[in-house]
Amino acid sequence: MTEIFFSIQGESSYAGLPCAFVRLTGCNLRCVWCDTAYAFEGGTEMSVDAVVARVTEFGGGLKLVEVTGGEPLLQDDCVPLMEQLLAKGYRVLLETSGSRNLDRVPREVVKIVDVKCPGSGMAEQNHPGVLLQLAPHDEVKFVIADERDYRFALERARAIASRNAVLFSPVHGGLSPTVLAGWMLRDQAPARLQLQLHKLLWGADARGV
């Protein structure tokens, strides 16, 4: 476990809501723009029960929790963790790359699948069938570094937008959000422009927020 904290959800259609975050350690990818490389190694060993107990300490309210990483599905106990959180009445979000099979993830979990564009250097790691494993409440995110990434994302967005919410997120500090917005307006892209709200609130290098 890298960190557990309570903050404002910065991404997805749940952006702006108070949310508990559970960040598991380890990742099988090395995206060139990664902003959470500190989660690749280290961390603290915790039982599923201990993690759930820590989350419940944040109190009731919206009972929204995100399991993230790194890549949380690398750890076998990720699924039992999500199952326990669901059993306690939490709405569970899972932030996962497009590289992992989702067949063991409980259907009730809101899967936010970060499909890798060419600019990440990891596009070849996208799981070929992952978008077919999504439920209607799941979401697909593309982090976009340049116009080539945008074209890659737009093609896929047009194929899936009738089934799932699609998020286009510019690389923070790289691609201008204004430029990305202009492309989306020009092409009537079937996607939501997403900025990383937590970085706007607390800065790009802040942890535990």
Domain residue limits, the chain: 3-202
Please list the residues that pair with 122 across neighbouring strands. Answer: none
Q: Which residues contact 124 (CB under 8 A, 6 or more apart)?
A: none
- Distance between CA 192 and CA 209 in Å, rounded? 23
CA dihedral 184, 194, 170, 180 (to 10 degrees): 20
Choose which CATH entry (3.20.20.70, 3.40.30.10, 3.90.580.10, 2.40.50.100) describes domain 3-202: 3.20.20.70
- Distance between CA 92 and CA 86 in Å, rounded? 7
* Phi and psi at residue 94, to the nearest 5°: -120, 115
Residue 9: name the closest of 196, 139, 19 by CA: 19
Taking only the tens of pLDDT, the chain with its 209 residues reads 999 999 999 999 999 999 999 999 999 999 999 989 999 999 999 999 999 999 999 987 889 999 999 999 999 999 999 999 999 999 999 999 989 999 999 999 999 999 999 999 999 999 988 999 999 999 999 999 999 999 999 999 999 999 999 999 999 989 999 999 999 999 999 999 999 888 888 887 777 77
Do 65 and 109 meet the contact criterion of CB atoms below 8 Å apart? no
Do 153 and 168 meet the contact criterion of CB atoms below 8 Å apart? yes
Task: For the chain, give the number of residues.
Answer: 209
